[in-house]
Amino acid sequence: MRKTVVKAGSVLIGDNSHIVIQTMCNTPTQDIDASFEQCVKLSIAGAEIIRLTTQGYKEVEALKVIKEMLRKKGIHTPLVADVHFSPDVAKAAAMVADKVRINPGNFSKDHTLATKRFVELTDICKQHGTALRIGINHGSLGDRIIEKHGDTPAGMKESAIEWIKMALSNNFDQIVISLKSSNTLVMAQAYRLLQDEFKKTGLAFPLHLGVTEAGNGEYGRIKSAVGIASLLNYGIGDTIRVSLTEDPENELPVARFIADYSFEFRKNKAEIPFDIIGSNPVVCRLSYKCKTWSDFILSASCDFGPLLLDKKIDDIEIQLVCDEKYEKSDISRFRDELLQASRRVFSKPEYIACPGCGRTTFNLETVFNEVKRRTAHLTGYNIAVMGCIVNGPGEMADADYGYVGESRNKVSIYKGRVPVFRAVPENEAIDILLKIIEEDIQNKSDKI
Q: Mean pLDDT, the chain, as a whole number? A: 92
Average of pLDDT values for 35-57?
A: 97
Q: Look at residue 80 and give its three-state secondary structure.
A: strand
Q: Which residue has the higher pLDDT, 71 or 418?
A: 71
Residue 176 in contact with residue 209, Cβ under 8 Å?
A: no
Q: Is the pLDDT of residue 362 over 60?
A: yes
pLDDT band (50, 70, 90) for residue 95: very high
Average of pLDDT values for 104-108?
A: 80
DSSP string, 4-61: PPEEETTEEESSSS--EEEEE--S-TT-HHHHHHHHHHHHHTT-SEEEEE--SHHHHH
pLDDT band (50, 70, 90) for residue 264: confident
What pairing do the DSSP bridges indicate for beta strands 315-322 and 11-13? Answer: unpaired
Distances in whole angstroms, Cα of residue 187 to Cα of each of 4, 106, 169 = 22, 19, 27
> Residue 364 and residue 400: Cα distance in Å, rounded?
19
Summarised one tens digit per residue, pLDDT across range 221-254 is 999 999 999 999 989 999 999 999 999 999 999 9
- Predicted pLDDT of residue 392: 65
Q: Is the pLDDT of residue 391 over 80?
A: no
Q: What is the pTM of this model?
A: 0.93
Q: Is the pLDDT of residue 448 over 60?
A: no
Average of pLDDT values for 171-180?
A: 97
- Predicted pLDDT of residue 114: 87
- Predicted pLDDT of residue 270: 61
- Predicted pLDDT of residue 266: 66
Q: Is the pLDDT of residue 178 over 80?
A: yes
- Domains of the chain (ranges; CATH) run 2-209 (3.20.20.20), 275-341 (no CATH), 350-447 (3.30.413.10)
Q: Is the pLDDT of residue 209 over 60?
A: yes
Summarised one tens digit per residue, pLDDT across range 265-304 is 766 666 676 788 878 899 999 999 999 999 999 999 999 9
pLDDT band (50, 70, 90) for residue 112: confident
> Residue 425 and residue 33: Cα distance in Å, rounded?
29
Short-list 260, 221, 259, 220, CA closest to 240: 259
Summarised one tens digit per residue, pLDDT across range 128-165 is 999 999 999 887 777 788 888 888 999 999 999 999 99
Average of pLDDT values for 51-57?
A: 95
The proportion of the chain whose per-residue pLDDT surpasses 90, expressed as a percent, equals 74
> Residue 261 and residue 398: Cα distance in Å, rounded?
30
